[in-house]
Every structure is written in structure tokens, then in C-alpha cells.
Structure 1
Amino acid sequence: MKNKKETVPPSREALLAFLRESPAAATKREIARAFGLKGAERIAMKELLRELEASGEIAKAEGRRFGTDAALPPLTGAKILARDDQGDLIAEPLEWAGEGPAPKIRVGFRKGDAAPGIGGRVLLKIQKAKDSDLPYEGRVVRILESAQRILAVYRRGEEGGRGVPVSRKADTEYRVEAGDENGAKEGELVELEAKPGRGSFGLPRAKVVERLGDVSAPRSISLIAIHEREIPVIFPEAALAEAAKAGPAPMADRIDLRAVPFVTIDPADARDHDDAVAAMPDPDPANPEGWVVWVGIADVAHYVRPGTAIDREARKRGNSVYFPDRVVPMLPDDLSGDLCSLHENVERPIIALKMRLTAEGRKLDHQFHRGMIRSWASLTYEQVQQAADGLKGHGLSESMIEDVVQPLYGAYASAARARDRRAPLDLNLPERKVELNEAGQVTAIRMRERLEAHRLIEEFMILANVCAAETLEQKRQALVFRVHEAPSPEKLASLRETLDQIGVNLAKGQNLTPKRLNEALDKVAGTAHAEAVNIAVLRSQAQAYYGPENFGHFGLNLAKYAHFTSPIRRYADLLVHRALISAHGWEGWRKEGLTLEEERDLAEISEHISETERRAMAAERDSTDRYLAAYLEDRMGAEFEGVVSGVARFGLFVKLDETGADGLLPISSLGAEYFTHDPDRHALIGSRTGTTWRLGDRMRVRLVEATPITGGLLFEPAGGSERRTGRTGLKPLGRTVGEKPHAAQRALARKAAVAKAKAARKAKRAGPPKKR
């Protein structure tokens, strides 16, 4: 009698290989069938699945399915994101429970398939992609929501309604026919969904799918930015439930730092407190006049663990987004505003950094700990600065000043000496602050005051970020760096050209450093060209980003840098916290540290959170622009002093001194002549007079139009043409009245003369016109 074929449970490697190659996540039954397992072998397989899930090597997808990357099920709901260069639609799943950003799906079509628009939601039949740069490919089974959404203002008309998009980039209005208004009222902010075909007047058609309220209401300004940039606002129920269940962290193996005089120092309107500082003289006689500095950062990693619903939503958001009237947080308020926030006189878990600095600010050593603190006070920058300056009204006790504030300033004085030797890029570009009343209306636009207290906290946070990067590199732990690369050769050439026009030499061949740029800034400090040079240097800089490879931070003049100090509002910092937990092997590191999947996907995660950061910055800038336009709407016709902050072929962008608002001065308003755009010199040059406008020129302008819906401002020159021809000492780019023509202008004149001569010869050969 033949023996039955024996089966054994698959090895760890075989099971992982099967799940990796599977086109979709598999159930236990499907896995058992694939390996021919029965009885005891199936029990052993289930135990192996539990081990792999606990280690993070596999994850559950929908239902009871398993996959190495929480693989998508065969039928997946997805949102259409964009078209690629080949015209194919790219989508991502509506729900994603795996590690890392949601995978992208290339959407293919068969003849007769319906084609959804960008932003549409579809049900896809998917499979693992074979010859594609994306992991999945899919075919549309059913369109769930067909067309893209447009944020607009609804306007009633005699023959129906119209939707006027709020985006400055929009170049058309939409026709809203009877029955498609969804009850929208005149002037309401609405979300439109495009419909096929065109209505009367040739306008594309759309229907109102959501009413968002009165567009003139103050809170609509940030709401527009949120919708336009697709910033997630509502937390999933699972994430909220996890946050609600969280409780105070236990002491466990944390060091007790409750007696250390930690304080938080933040803006008066701060919504969370994620960093605390303390300083004291170093008792080591080998470090005379040296300092011990403590930086405590909220231990968010204890509450937000990899793979949880809160973590998935935090990664999706990437960061908090701050508007003048609200904040869209990265974490639910139960965490960001309570358990993670370092409130006064409340025990809170932190990751603590202890540094020892010499009297000259050189760092002797540092150590990271997991600790527990009780913040002595929640202070504001203004309070601390008043106390340090010996002014009244700060409300701090003498002991607080003596035991907390003075040691902090003493340690900062030492750190500042080291900072000055390092010479980071020191731009002077004041930040605008929009002040609102209780009704949400703009009461003032001010430039944020830059206090020494701001610099104190900034320098300690920079030192902490450097220590985090150094420690993780030393321990050979994967991490996310904050990268700011040196300016490109093209931008440097443009910067040299701009500075040369002002008489500031940035010689070629020199090794460009922040120190050399600071020297250029110092030469023009306090002059009429200061703002122009600051703007030009800023525009020459590369955009900072997150990445798993270290290319240094040019602006700060640092070789190693990683964001560590704001895990409540930045996902990058949370990843660095997890890396520190793993690198030190602290208690609970298997659940709270950086996972193998996160290490594997760091490049993709870094790219995603860099994108969400850019999205947040754009939304915050859009919101501020709209508030500024609303503030200036009642001052139409008023004149303002400003500076040319940008030059384009269609006109000048002018930044007002009073509010920092930027607006467009169209090229058609500069005069009755043709202006040539010189992008290398950031200039517009008049073809007839040679009158030249360039980056940094002072202007007096008149406000012609302010549009709060889009944030647009339109200017025209004020004060006469005499102001527009003044160069205030700049090297001439072109001809002003009475000057020798610029070479480019002479070339234009020769070209015009040749054309005129040719026309004359042609007319002569043709003879007199024939009578008809």
C-alpha cells in the first residue's frame, strides 16, 4: 500500500515569497490550499502567520486577507488622480491599510469602457502590474462618482446660474442649469461636478454637489484653501476611537526629569506645546563657564504606533496646516491638544536630549533618554523677552527669572557664538501675521517681531536636530534627513548677474558658502537694495525636502540634520523618534520603533511628506493672500509704496511695504511702448526709451482691484513716469531718457530700420497703386 504524500507547513521564506507574488491579498484558506495543508499543518501555518504579522513582515488587508504590503483586493474602490505622459489615468485606492503611502494603479480601458474624469471615484478590477513602473494595473468595472470637483462661487442669472471658480488658474466659468443648483443661493461657496457637453453661451456644464456656505463669511477664506488643496479635515472614526482610548503614559523605564526646570516657550496663540527647554551651569570643573542644556520633545511615538489607524491618517496628512483662523492638525485633538502636549504642571512623557556646551558654544557630548517631565510654566516669547530685558509686565516671579530665564539666555549666548562661527544663511525677510477679531474679520496685518527669545528656541532646536542625525548615523540606523542642497549653477549665475547690477561682486570660481552670501547681504544692509538682495538670494535657493540620504543642509551650513523637535505636527519628526527608539532599544521598541517596512519605504514616505509639506505651504500662502485681499478691498484707489518682488513677461509683481501683500502690475500699464522680458536679469526693458524695471526697484502703486475670492491684487503705477525711470544707483540695464542706447536696443533699432528699408524697396518696385 502506497504512503500518502506528506505535507509540511511552508517555511517562513516560502510563505513570504507566496504572498509577495500573489496578485492580491490571500485568506488562510487560500494559503492552505496553495500548499496542500490539512489538519495540524494548517494550525502550524496559522501560528506562522501570527508571528509574521506581529513582526510587521505581513499585514492584514481587507477582511481576513494577508499580504506582504497589505495587497489590494481584486475589486478595489479608487480615486482618479491624474494622467501620465502617455495619457493613462493614474489612481489610488480609497482605503489603504498597509505601510507607506497608498500604491498607485495604472487604469487601462477596453473599447466601450466609460472614462471617469480626474477626481472621479471608480471600482476597479486590478492585478499586479507586469511591465509597468507602478505596482498595480486595473480596469474600470463601475464609475462611482464621475467627474472632477470644482470649488466655485454660485451666481444667479436670468437664464440659470453660473459657477465662478475660485482658483486663479481657472480660465472659464460653468453653466449650472435648472435642477442642478441643489438649492444654492447667490454668492454661496459651492463644490461643482462637471457634466458632459456644453450649455448656453458655450460654457461647460456643471451641477452643484455640495454647498459650503456664504463666500463672504470670514471663515470661508481658509475653507477655500482647504478644499482647493484637498487637505484632509475629518479624521476616520477608527483613528478618533484609538485617540479617545489613549491614557497617560506610565513611568516604566523612563528617567525622572520632573525636578528639571523645563518650560515651554511659544507664541501667545500656540495650539500645542511639543518642545520644552531647560539650562543650568555645567558643574564639571573641566568645563569652566560651560552649560548643560536639556531639550524635551513630546513622546508622540508612545501614542502613535506603526500600522495603527492614527498612524495611517497621520502619514496621509504628513503635517499640520496652520491658518489664521484654524488649524488642520496631523493628530486628533485628544493627542495633539492634550496627552502629547507639554502643558504646565502636568506629567508628560518626552524624548529628552541632554547636551553639554562650552563657554564658546562647542558641544562636548550629548545623550538621548526617554523621560517624564512636569513643565514648570507655559511661557510666551514676549514674556521671556521682557523678563530677560528687565522690563515690567511679564508676570514672572524673581525665582523663575533667576532659575529658568537667565540660565537659558546664558546658554544661548554660548550657543550663539558657535552659530556665528558656523555662519548659517541669515536672510532678513519679515513674516506677515494676519490678526483677526472674534468674528474672524481681519483687524490688522503686521510683520512678526523677531525677538532674541525666538532665536534662543530656534538655536536649541537646531542643536537638537543635529544631535538626532549624528546619533542615528553613528548607530547605523535608517532615518529621514532634512535636506537643503546648494543652489544650482543656473540659479547661481542668475544671482551673480543680479548682484552685479547692484555693485556686489560674487566672483565665479569661489566655493559658494552661506558665509559668502551673508557678506553680500551685509554690504547692502540698511540700503535701498537690501530687500532686493534678500529676495534674490532666497530665490536662488533650492527647495528643502525630506529624504533617506544625507546631502547636508546648505542654508544652516550643517553636514547632518534631521527634524526631531515637532512630532505633534510633522510626520518626519515622528519617524526620527521611532528611529531613536529602535536605535537605543528602549522598552517597547518592537511596537513603537521604526519597522522594517518603514525602513524599506523611507524614500517613498519621504517623497510623500515632502509633497504634503509643499501642499500645506501653498494652502497657508493662499489663505494669507485672500485675507490680505479682503483687508485691502475697502481701499481701492489708495496709493502704496512697494518693491518689485517678481518680474514676468506679462508684468511686475509688487510687494507693499505696509502689509507685505503681493499684487500684479500688468505690463500694459507701464507705458505706451513694447517691453522686453530679460529673465536672467529679472528685468523688463522698454524698446523705445530703454526704461528698465527690475527685481528690487522701488515703486509707488495704486490699488485697482482686490479680489478676496482668489486673493488677487491688481495695481497700476502712481506718481508719474519720472518715478519709473529712476535707477537709484543701479547699473543701467537699458536706456533711460538722454542716455546711450543699450546694445540690445540698438539691435532692435537696426532690425526695424532694415525692415522699413525692405518695405520701401518693395513698394517702389510695385509702382503706384492701380485705380479700380
Structure 2
Amino acid sequence: MARIPSRDEIIDWISQNPTQSSKRDIARAFGIKGADRVDLKRILKDLEDDGHLTRRRKTYRDPEALPPVTVCEITGPDADGDLFARPAVWDGDSPAPRILVTLGRGDAALGRGDRALLRLAPAEATDHAYTGRLIRRLPQTVQRLLGIFREDPHGGRVVPVDKKADRDWLVRARDTDGAHDGELVEAERTGGKGDMGLPQARIVARLGDPTAPRAVSLIAIHQHDIPHVFPQEVLDAAEAARPVPAEGREDLRHLPLVTIDPADARDHDDAVLAMADDDPANPGGHVLWVAIADVARYVRPGTPLDREALKRGNSSYFPDRVVPMLPEALSNGLCSLHQGEDRACMAVRMVLDAEGNKTGHRFVRGIMRSAASLTYQEAQAARDGTPSDRAAPLVQTVIDPLYAAYAALRAARARRQPLELDLPERKIELDEDGRVTSVAFRERLDAHRLIEEFMVLANVAAAEELAARRQPLLYRVHEEPSPEKLEALREVAEASGLGLAKGQVLQTRQLNRLLAQAAETEFAELLNISTLRAMTQAYYSPDNFGHFGLALRSYAHFTSPIRRYADLVVHRALISAHGWGKDGLGGTDAEDLRGIGEHISSTERRSMLAERDTTDRYLAAYLADRIGTDLPGRISGVQRFGLFVKLDETGADGLIPVRALGAEFFHHDADSQTLTGADSGLTLGLGQRVVARLVEAAPISGGMILDLIEVEGAPLARGRGHRRPGTAPKRAEARSKARRAAAAKKEKRKVTRKRKG
């Protein structure tokens, strides 16, 4: 019979042999066999219960020590630039040990929030307990949640701010990071489940008061994992940048190029100029210049600036802040085309005939000096005869020629027939404290359309230039709608008394014809929204599948490299194609571009979702003090669980749960997008005018709950509370009746269509 080791002997063995800590390893080390293993198992269980050991699957270890190979989370560099980490999971009672990460030559770069497998060695230091060498960087698979911390005697729980999340996360007292009740926090799932099967988590970031006005965009930034803090090396690189000399560049400083931007713009990445073409072979023609900030000169491939720009993919815009793709020293400094400042640029000179057709173009890498930084309102006022002091000297030489070229481009656009959606954009106005003061429609001027048309033409020229030179590039691709989405749009059109022909190759002019028919009806907004929903999501790809919405065969993004990485790629492709320097694409091929395109397409969608969520939260905050108010709107969505209503005044979307429609059963018809009452026969569908009462507005989640009051001017007749006892049909009978009615309605639609055909 082998001697059973003492508790201290077992602990010492595990400490000295962390890689051999399974029950089998311990039994082999002490020569324990057969029935004696029962006693060993009992001792290990006692040590575990007493907290001296913790069990991971089939191994035991000291909970206050880390195994030699550990999954860690990078906490970021300190003020001295040293990189530190912490264990991804820590079960000890004392604070998690600090780990100094030492990277070797060729190791992957690590940043805050990255997870990595590290080989650890104990360290005798005052500021860290271990040193760690990188084995490999791990993919980001850990689950995180943004929510409100609610304290309890055992620690607390995190209540998610995302209205789609369905359960809270539990946090043990030792994992709260000192969070206070009601504080906005970010939590990370640690594995395992607690009471009622809820996930266990630990708090990794405390973000302050969730009710603070400027916390609204912060919630979206964290919820969608948008990088918003620049690493120090990136900031240092931006600060170290210097102006570009004019030598070796085409000098465009004699051209009176001007920027035209929103009044609150801080960066200016495009400048324009137009003039009458003096070539006798082009009577009535125009010469159009579009100059773009030469970001590629400062953001070189493979540098920290480049890696961070690619990571972000694009800038993200919120009502109270911008999360830029590039540090301010570049985005608002050296790359911004400020009035009167010499700036490096990539420019294209385009020639138009009298009908607005582009007959030729030439790209240059140059140096320019903006003659004026105008706002849209300023440019439009100058065109309309009331110029500002700054714009007055430019009316005849700059502004009038710009509008003349725009008139020609507008005629070419009418022939091309790109998709003409009419969806007024709403702008959220904030006061100095970040509170919503009003929700207004954004002003839409010819000055806006002018710049849009110039930018579209420059983007087309970039795509055509690179394709002609057989240079790999990222196209902006927008494929035509799927048959399923087209059929859904056709259903909406027919329900509105309009039609969309079948059996033809779809062109944007057909959709424009439908929108024009709806323009003078009450269904105009509904048809515009439904057409937008039918469209596919645009994306970036090295393969050219055209741009359906713009009705263009080739299209690339060239005009906004300060805020979009795709444009920077196109600039580099132009540099390589023309041999303008060593800061081009270099050896990048189509497969590399495919991965870049997929990544920046996803970051673009991420920003769109974050911006939309922020808008929802601001609108909910704006309407929160109007609970109980009746608001007009239109049904914009129909689901089995209820109706979505877009409110007229603010454009906010609220939900009317199906349970709020009354006690009767409502049948959902996905094809016709309707809800039909089993008893009353009431049919609720897309586009119907309604009056809804605001019942709930939650600024933290952005959700709004409504109650239906009127439909098409008639009060809603509710079944609940108005039936005599015993008169309500059984649920099964109600469902059967509703289904029969819906089936008959669908069959009637089919017959009608056949007759029309």
C-alpha cells in the first residue's frame, strides 16, 4: 500500500509541476494505485473546497498562481510604452497578477483588448508578477456586453442596453471592478452559468453615468466595438508628419479651387473648379477639376498609421462627436485642404461636352492652395445673388462656372436615370450640454447636388483609369435587388394601387417610374422606404459587378481618403499605375484586396448600425417627456409580433405590440405584410396612416412602445373589455377563421394578377 501524500505535499508538487497536475499525474508521482486513488480523490476534493486548488476540467492548480502557458488579455502600454496583460480568467481571491509582455522580432503587434496565448515565467519585480512571451495571437471570440450594473449582496448583474438582448449577466463580487449601482459598464463573459442559468461575467470597463447626454454615442461606440482611442505610436506618427514640398509635383496653386462643405465641417478633403472649355472642337463644353487630399503621402503601407486606419476602416459620425479614421493632426491638419494653405493633392482634370458627357480625363499628383472654404449655404446664396463677403469675389470666376458645369451633368444624369429616392434626412440638433433641442429636416440645396455629381464623376474616372491600366483596385459594388426583395416591393406597390412590371431586366428607370407615380399620392414615403429596403447592401470588391443604384458600369471610391480606407487604396493604386512614388500599392494583388474589401465593408456596416442606434437613443430621449401624447405616423413595418410606426414629426420608429391591438387573434400574412383580426376582420398593413399614443420611451436602449389609437382617421375598435362573457370565439376557431380569410385574400390577388397579365 502506497503512502498517501499530505495536503502540503500535493500543493508543493502542483506548484513545482504545473504542466503535470491531473489526478493521474499526481497519482503516478506518488506511486498511488488501485483503491488508494479514492483517498487521493478525497484529498483533492477537500483542497478544492477549501480554496487551495482550483480544478480546470481534469487538472488541478494553485488558484493564486498561473500555469506556464496562459490565455491573456492585453491591457495596453503604460506611460513608458511597456506592454502589459492580465489573465483572461482569474479565480484567485487576490487581484489578478500583472504580466509584462515582451515581443520578439517578427511577433504580431498587440493592442489593448487583444487576446493572446503567452508563455509565462515568474518575475521578481514590483510592478508585475510574470513576464510573458507571445506564442500566438488569438481570434476575438470572447463575448462582451454593454449594460447597466445593478448591485446586489453577491455582486450584481449587468442589464443589457441592447434592446435585442434577452437576458442579464451575473457578476461575482470580486469581478465588479468597483462598479457602482446604475453605472454604465462593459462586461466580458467568463464561462459557466450562475443562478437561473444566467451567464457569469466580469466587468472590464466602467463608462460612467448612462443618463449623461453625451453617453448616448459612447454606448454605441462600445456596443459595436468601434476603436476610438488611438495608440500612442499612431498619435506620435501623425504629430511627426511635415508638409509636403512642391518639388516633383504638378503645381496647381494658380487654380482657384474651392472647398464646399457643411458649416460644421472640420476637415476638407475635396476641392472643385470648373471653367468653360476653350477648345474649338468642344463648343459649349466644360473643364472640371476635382482635387483630393493626398493622404497616401502620409499614411504609408504597413506603418502604424496604416494599420490603425485599416482597423477602423472609416470614420464614424454621431450627432455629438466624430470617431475619425485618422488622428486629428492629419484629418484636420496636414491632409485637410484649408483655405490659403499649400496642400498635397491627387487631382483629376475632366473634360465634358455640352451635354455633360465625360470625353476625357487626366490624373495628376500635385500641390494646391484652396482659394476659399465655403459652406453649402454660402455657395448657394452666392449663386442666388446674395453672396457673402468671402464668396463675392468668386461669383463670376468660380461659382457661376461650377453651376454651369453642374447643369450639363444634371442633363447627363437625367439620361442615365440613377435611382431617384426621395427620403428627406433628419438632423438631430443638440445644445451645448448634449441634449436634443430639435429634430429637423436637413436642408437640400443645389450646392449639395453639385458636389455629389462632381464626386461621382471623379470616382468613375478613377475606376476607368485603373481598369484601363490593368491595375488592381477596390470597386464600389452595388448589385441589383434579389428576386425575393423585388417581389416584396411589388406587393407593396400593388397594395398601394400601383404596379411594377415583371419579366424584364430590371433597370433603375423602372423603379424611378414607380416612384414618380407614387410622388403625388399618400404612399410616396412608403414606396421610397420600400424601394430602399429592396436594395442590396453596397460593398467593396476587386471584382467589378457595376453599381446598380447609380446606373454605372464602373465605380470606385476616390474622393474621401481622410474618412474611408477604400479611397486610400484607390489613391495608392493610382500612384502605382503612374509610377508616382514608392507609397503605392506595391505588391498588393487582387486576393489581398479581397480581404481588405471584406473587412472595410464590415466596418462600414458597423458604423452604420452604431450611427442608427445612436439616432434611436437620441430620439427616444427627445420624446421621453411626451409619454401619453398622441402622435401621427404611418405603418412602416409589419411583423408577427406587432407593427412598426414611423412618426411624422421626428422620423422615429416605435413598436405597437400585437397584444396592444386587442384580445382577438391577429393573423400575420408575410406576403402581403398585413395583420388581420380574426373577429373584426380589421386589416393593418404597410403605409396606413395611424395615430399612436407614446407609452414608453427608453433612451438607454432606444426603444419606443406605442399604442394604436386611430387607423386611417377612424378610432380603433378594440375587442378587449368590450365583449360580453361567452361571446369570444375559441382561439383555435379564431386562428382558423383568420387563416381562411388570409388564404382567400391571397388567392384573390393571384387571380387578379393572372387577369392583368
TM-score normalised to the size of structure 2? Answer: 0.77
The equivalences for 1:350-499 within 5 A come to: 350-391=345-386, 394-499=388-493
Correspondence 1:718 to 2:709: yes
Question: Are 1:262 and 1:376, in contact at CA under 8 Å, matched by a contact in 2?
Answer: yes
The equivalent residue for 1:185 is 180
Q: CA deviation at 1:181?
A: 3.3
Question: Are 2:676 and 2:738, in contact at CA under 8 Å, matched by a contact in 1?
Answer: no
The equivalent residue for 1:522 is 516
| Residues 666 and 95 of structure 1, relative CA distance in 2, 3 Å threshold | farther
The equivalent residue for 1:702 is 693
The equivalent residue for 2:35 is none
- 1:601 match: secondary structure: helix
Give 1:279's aligned amino acid.
A
Correspondence 1:291 to 2:283: no
The equivalent residue for 2:658 is 667
- 1:378-422 CA deviation, whole Å, 9 max, x = no partner? 111111111212246x44443211211111111100110001110
Q: Does 471-480 or 358-367 show the bigger shift?
A: 358-367
Q: In 2, Cα distance between the equivalents of 1:180 and 1:744?
A: 53
Q: CA deviation at 1:221?
A: 0.7
Q: In 2, Cα distance between the equivalents of 1:630 and 1:191?
A: 22
Correspondence 1:261 to 2:256: yes
Correspondence 1:616 to 2:607: yes
Correspondence 1:271 to 2:266: yes
- 2:714 match: secondary structure: helix
Correspondence 1:318 to 2:310: no
Q: Number of paired residues? A: 618
| Residues 490 and 456 of structure 1, relative CA distance in 2, 3 Å threshold | same
Question: Are 2:382 and 2:391, in contact at CA under 8 Å, matched by a contact in 1?
Answer: no
Q: CA deviation at 1:499?
A: 1.0
- 1:435 match: secondary structure: strand
2:618 to 627, 637, 646: 627
1:123 to 114, 117, 122: 117
Q: CA deviation at 1:168?
A: 1.5
Q: CA deviation at 1:298?
A: 0.4
Question: Are 2:155 and 2:174, in contact at CA under 8 Å, matched by a contact in 1?
Answer: no
The equivalent residue for 2:31 is none
Q: In 2, Cα distance between the equivalents of 1:403 and 1:341?
A: 24
- 1:494 match: secondary structure: helix
- 1:360 match: secondary structure: coil
2:212 to 200, 213, 217: 217
The equivalent residue for 2:639 is 648
Question: Are 1:690 and 1:745, in contact at CA under 8 Å, matched by a contact in 2?
Answer: no
Question: Are 1:162 and 1:175, in contact at CA under 8 Å, matched by a contact in 2?
Answer: yes
Q: In 2, Cα distance between the equivalents of 1:146 and 1:361?
A: 52
Give 1:344's aligned amino acid.
Q
| Residues 357 and 196 of structure 1, relative CA distance in 2, 3 Å threshold | closer
The equivalent residue for 2:232 is 237
| Residues 148 and 582 of structure 1, relative CA distance in 2, 3 Å threshold | same
The equivalent residue for 2:203 is 208
Correspondence 1:554 to 2:548: yes
| Residues 146 and 717 of structure 1, relative CA distance in 2, 3 Å threshold | closer
Question: Are 2:379 and 2:391, in contact at CA under 8 Å, matched by a contact in 1?
Answer: no
| Residues 715 and 302 of structure 1, relative CA distance in 2, 3 Å threshold | same
Give 1:512's aligned amino acid.
L
Segments of 5+ residues of structure 1 without an aligned counterpart are: 1-74, 81-92, 104-118, 126-138, 727-742, 752-772
The equivalent residue for 2:740 is 748
Q: In 2, Cα distance between the equivalents of 1:581 and 1:640?
A: 55
Q: CA deviation at 1:502?
A: 1.8
Q: In 2, Cα distance between the equivalents of 1:236 and 1:151?
A: 23
Q: CA deviation at 1:175?
A: 3.5
Question: Are 2:234 and 2:308, in contact at CA under 8 Å, matched by a contact in 1?
Answer: yes
Q: Does 177-186 or 271-280 show the bigger shift?
A: 177-186
The equivalent residue for 2:166 is 171
1:542 to 536, 547, 558: 536
Q: CA deviation at 1:672?
A: 2.5
Question: Are 2:277 and 2:284, in contact at CA under 8 Å, matched by a contact in 1?
Answer: yes
Question: Are 1:387 and 1:396, in contact at CA under 8 Å, matched by a contact in 2?
Answer: no
Give 2:640's aligned amino acid.
R
TM-score normalised to the size of structure 1? Answer: 0.75
Correspondence 1:607 to 2:598: yes
Q: In 2, Cα distance between the equivalents of 1:167 and 1:214?
A: 16
| Residues 405 and 651 of structure 1, relative CA distance in 2, 3 Å threshold | same
2:648 to 657, 673, 680: 657
- 1:642 match: secondary structure: strand
- 1:95-119 CA deviation, whole Å, 9 max, x = no partner? 99999x999xxxxxxxxxxxxxxx9
Q: CA deviation at 1:206?
A: 3.3
Q: CA deviation at 1:441?
A: 1.2
Q: CA deviation at 1:210?
A: 2.2
Q: In 1, Cα distance between the equivalents of 2:544 and 2:203?
A: 48
Q: In 1, Cα distance between the equivalents of 2:213 and 2:220?
A: 13
Q: In 2, Cα distance between the equivalents of 1:94 and 1:712?
A: 46
- 2:467 match: secondary structure: helix
The equivalent residue for 2:61 is none
Q: CA deviation at 1:716?
A: 0.7
Percentage of matched positions with identical amino acids: 57
Q: Does 595-604 or 467-476 show the bigger shift?
A: 595-604
- 1:479 match: secondary structure: coil
Question: Are 1:121 and 1:146, in contact at CA under 8 Å, matched by a contact in 2?
Answer: no
- 1:596 match: secondary structure: coil
Segments of 5+ residues of structure 2 without an aligned counterpart are: 1-68, 75-100, 120-133, 718-734, 744-757
Question: Are 2:116 and 2:138, in contact at CA under 8 Å, matched by a contact in 1?
Answer: yes
Q: CA deviation at 1:238?
A: 2.1
| Residues 145 and 265 of structure 1, relative CA distance in 2, 3 Å threshold | closer
| Residues 195 and 102 of structure 1, relative CA distance in 2, 3 Å threshold | closer
Give 2:206's aligned amino acid.
R
| Residues 503 and 208 of structure 1, relative CA distance in 2, 3 Å threshold | same
- 1:593-650 CA deviation, whole Å, 9 max, x = no partner? 1121354401111101100100010111111111111111111111111111111111
Q: Does 245-254 or 675-684 show the bigger shift?
A: 675-684
The equivalent residue for 1:563 is 557
Q: Does 646-655 or 716-725 show the bigger shift?
A: 716-725
Q: CA deviation at 1:201?
A: 6.1
Question: Are 1:98 and 1:307, in contact at CA under 8 Å, matched by a contact in 2?
Answer: no
| Residues 450 and 79 of structure 1, relative CA distance in 2, 3 Å threshold | farther
Q: In 2, Cα distance between the equivalents of 1:98 and 1:566?
A: 33
- 1:355 match: secondary structure: strand
Q: In 2, Cα distance between the equivalents of 1:249 and 1:219?
A: 37
Q: In 1, Cα distance between the equivalents of 2:619 and 2:528?
A: 22
Q: In 1, Cα distance between the equivalents of 2:445 and 2:168?
A: 47
Give 1:409's aligned amino acid.
Y
Question: Are 1:163 and 1:175, in contact at CA under 8 Å, matched by a contact in 2?
Answer: yes
Correspondence 1:638 to 2:633: no
Give 1:515's aligned amino acid.
R
Q: CA deviation at 1:720?
A: 7.1
Q: CA deviation at 1:671?
A: 2.6
- 1:643 match: secondary structure: strand
- 1:526-570 CA deviation, whole Å, 9 max, x = no partner? 310101111111111111000000000000000000000000000
The equivalent residue for 2:123 is none
Give 2:272's aligned amino acid.
V
